């Protein structure tokens, strides 16, 4: 469960990039965070994961505050950032072992998980190569595998489908569904409305730092139907594709 309470953030004085955001992502749901480029999705995710501090407000992950108790809170989620360009000089296998060390995963379990997950995402042949030789999609996959090694309760993913080939994208969506069915929380951002429609239990739409809608896809259709606003909103979202 992720609780976002009254979050406000400005990068530049007088210009709120996030404006009094309130949101609760429940156990057992896939929540899609939608909005056009520059809406504030990544900024929000950076605050949830403790990379940025909000100017005001508080964020709890399974009831632990990311600001007040960051180490404890960070044990409760796995995070896939929008640009998976990290530890580029490490070989894939070194990166995964490094993460497994941090998470203190016993060697027999880690070996089995690495095998299983890298096979699933078809990157087992790349594990002996440095990450800097990987394509964007492969980097995305190794980061996802790294996060899944620890099997965290809360998954937080920033534009996770971007750069993935159709099969991996399909597999990831299936894994998100399975994870939420098991009572866990999946929070991801996207600017692709279609993904949200098919995958999410609920969606939130953010525009210019303000939450403009929270609910199911059906509720969103009802809310905006006949007002012309839905199309405008959709256009704004899909315009950025
Ligand atoms: N490091 C930064 N410095 C100044 N402004 C930023 C920075 N990062 C993001 N912004 C601004 O904050 C707003 C939200 O950006 P972002 O959270 O990246 O949006 P999204 O992920 O929805 O595309 C945008 O107006 C963007 O220009
Ligand atoms: Mg972003």
70 and 8 housed in the same domain: yes
Q: How close is the Cα of 6 to the center of ligand 1, in Å?
A: 18
Tell me which residue has its CA closest to atom 12 in ligand 1: 17
Residue 238 placed within a domain: yes
Q: Which ligand is nearest to the CA of 240?
A: 1
89 and 142 housed in the same domain: yes
Q: How close is the Cα of 156 to the center of ligand 2, in Å?
A: 13
Q: How close is the Cα of 189 to the center of ligand 2, in Å?
A: 8
Q: How close is the Cα of 121 to the center of ligand 2, in Å?
A: 24
What's the rounded Cα separation, in Å, for the pair 28 and 62? Answer: 13
Residue 148 placed within a domain: yes
Residue 136 lies in domain: 85-152
**CA angle at residue 54 from 185 to 72, to 5 degrees?**
50
For 64-110, write each residue's pLDDT tens digit.
Answer: 999 999 999 998 999 999 988 889 999 999 999 999 998 899 999 99
For 71-81, write each residue's pLDDT tens digit.
Answer: 999 989 999 99
What's the rounded Cα separation, in Å, for the pair 76 and 151? Answer: 10
Residues 27, 189: contact at Cβ < 8 Å?
no
159: tokens are: 């534009």
Residues with Cβ within 5 Å of ion ligand 2? 41-42
Q: Which ligand is nearest to the CA of 81?
A: 2
Residues 240, 192: contact at Cβ < 8 Å?
no
Least trusted range by pLDDT, from 141-150, 182-191, 226-235? 226-235
Q: Of ligand 1's atoms, which has the minimum distance to the CA of residue 40?
A: 17
Band of the pLDDT at 194, cuts 50, 70, 90?
Answer: confident
Residue 183 placed within a domain: yes
Pocket of ligand 1 (CB under 6 A): 11, 17, 35, 37-43
Residues composing the chain: 241
CATH number where 7 lies: 3.40.50.300
Q: CA neighbours within 13 Å on the CB side: how many for 89?
A: 0
Residue 174 placed within a domain: no
203 and 95 housed in the same domain: no
Prediction pTM value: 0.90
DSSP strands (E only) in 86-200: 154-158, 185-190
- The whole-number pLDDT of residue 192 equals 78
Q: Which ligand is nearest to the CA of 39?
A: 1
Residue 51 placed within a domain: yes
110 and 91 housed in the same domain: yes
For 144-163, write each residue's pLDDT tens digit.
Answer: 999 999 889 999 999 998 88
Q: How close is the Cα of 238 to the center of ligand 1, in Å?
A: 18
- In the chain, how many domains are there? 2
162 and 222 housed in the same domain: yes
Q: Pick from 8, 35, 43, 162 the residue to mutate for probing ligand 1's pocket: most ligand atoms within 8 Å of its CB.
A: 43
Residues 1, 25: contact at Cβ < 8 Å?
yes
Of 212 and 231, more confident: 212
131 and 241 housed in the same domain: no
């Amino acid at each position: 469960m992720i609780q976002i309470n009254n979050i406000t953030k400005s990068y530049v004085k007088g210009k709120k990039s996030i404006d009094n955001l309130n949101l609760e992502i429940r156990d057992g749901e896939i929540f899609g965070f939608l909005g056009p480029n520059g809406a504030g999705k990544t900024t929000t995710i950076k605050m949830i994961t403790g990379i940025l501090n909000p100017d005001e407000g508080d964020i709890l992950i399974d009831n632990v505050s990311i600001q007040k108790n960051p180490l404890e809170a960070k044990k409760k989620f796995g995070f896939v950032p929008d640009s998976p360009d990290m530890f580029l000089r490490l070989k894939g296998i070194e990166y995964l072992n490094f993460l497994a060390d941090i998470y203190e995963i016993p060697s027999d379990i880690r070996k089995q998980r690495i095998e299983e997950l890298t096979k699933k995402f078809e990157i087992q042949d790349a594990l002996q190569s440095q990450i800097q030789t990987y394509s964007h999609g492969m980097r995305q996959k190794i980061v996802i595998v790294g996060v899944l090694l620890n099997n965290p309760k809360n998954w937080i993913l920033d534009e996770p489908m971007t750069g993935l080939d159709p099969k991996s994208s399909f597999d990831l969506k299936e894994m998100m569904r399975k994870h939420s069915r098991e009572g866990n929380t999946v929070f991801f951002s996207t600017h692709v409305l279609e993904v949200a429609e098919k995958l999410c239990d609920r969606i939130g739409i953010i525009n210019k730092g303000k939450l403009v809608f929270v609910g199911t896809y059906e509720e969103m259709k009802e809310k905006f139907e006949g007002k012309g606003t839905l199309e405008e909103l959709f256009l704004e979202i899909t315009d950025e594709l």
